[in-house]
Amino acid sequence: MNFLGYRSRRGSFIGYFLIGLVGALIGGLVVGSVLMEQVDKRIASMPKDALDITEPQKTPAVKYSDVSGQGLSVAAIAREVGPAVVKISTLRERVYYTFFLERMVQQEQGLGSGVIFDRRGFVLTNYHVIEKAKEIGVVLSDGREFAATVIGGDYYTDLAVLKIDGDNLPCATLGDSDIVQVGEAAVAIGNPFGFDNTVTAGVVSALGRSVPLDAEQGIYLENLIQTDAPINPGNSGGALADERGTVMGINTAIYAEAQGIGFAIPVNTVRQIAAELIEFGKVRRPWIGITQVWVITPRVARDYRLGIDYGLAIAGYVRQSPVGSAGLRRGDIITSAGGKPTKSVADLREAVNSEGIGGTLELGIYRDGRTFTVSVNVREAP
């Protein structure tokens, strides 16, 4: 199963990666990385005075086109969002060595899409579009060209924010992905294969999808919007617009072995990540230092006569980390976090995210036939 429009860690930004059998990965799921995947709740711990990226966009979203309650037409959506969708060109350098060990540098060009979401010149795109780029150019729909600087990028959510300096910049309105419904109209706008400002239409096919970012390390993009609006290489970083004329998501990947299966990062996640990138240049994440766990199911517990019915057995952790400082070790089984049972990795992830950076998380531990509680100080991920 391949995903086009997504990068390989070894190749150009238009990459292919393989979806493995998820079941085979459960035993080796990497919590330290997986904790980085859920961003929807994590940002609740942000300082109250954090930059509000929605401030320049006080104009309300485009309303429905008629009293019957029907949404805007595709043409109207394209007129509303299209001007703010830009083409992004990149230049990378790849170093290789000849048979005679002579160092050679090869330049590689890449294309992608982006969305201007702030009149100060902030542009959203995918991280894989600009990763390792030496030069980044932005071309607007009206033909204006700008050199862009990287404000920040985040591999784990595949999002990045660029900055261009210009006057009278078009600006898309970021919508609300929480109100998006399966079956409603979806319009993808981008630059597939360099064809500027291409508009394709479909529907929202599903919500809450997950695709692997690095299956071997257990890192996934989660809570994605699935659409059948045609998306191709070069659409990455472009807008997925809703019938209200607002951006519901940022297009990020397609399923190459099928027709009409594409994915977009929901705009509520995008908004939160963009705020962190603009404020700090990176995404701060809560961390307790566990790198690998073994999920204990009732059947596993019975087969191994563990004396408990569920939990997460610590298979790996960083010694100089919150859990290491708390005295935890390999083989300890986490039975609860924050007072709630930990029957899955998601349970632990949610507890860590809810506690936030600087918080104290209470973990219930089962070790050698006895149970006890430890307090773990949640820190920012290194």
**Position 278, amino acid:** I
**Position 336, amino acid:** S
Residue 254 and residue 263 in contact, taking contact as beta carbons nearer than 8 Å: yes
- Which is the catalytic residue, given 33, 89, 113, 128? 128
Active site residue 158: yes
Active site residue 73: no
By C-alpha distance, which of 201, 203, 274, 283 is closest to 237?
274
179 φ, ψ to 5°? Answer: -100, 0
- Which is the catalytic residue, given 113, 177, 205, 236? 236
- Which is the catalytic residue, given 118, 154, 158, 347? 158
* Residue indicated by tokens 């994440």: 285
DSSP code of 357? T
**CA 61 to chain centroid:** 24
Q: How many residues does the chain have?
A: 382
Active site residue 205: no
154 φ, ψ to 5°? Answer: -135, 110
- One DSSP character per residue, 89-154 reads EEEEEEEEE-TT--EEEEEEEEEEEEEEEETTTEEEE-HHHHTT-SEEEEE-TTS-EEE-EEEEEE
Q: Catalytic residue numbers? A: 128, 158, 236
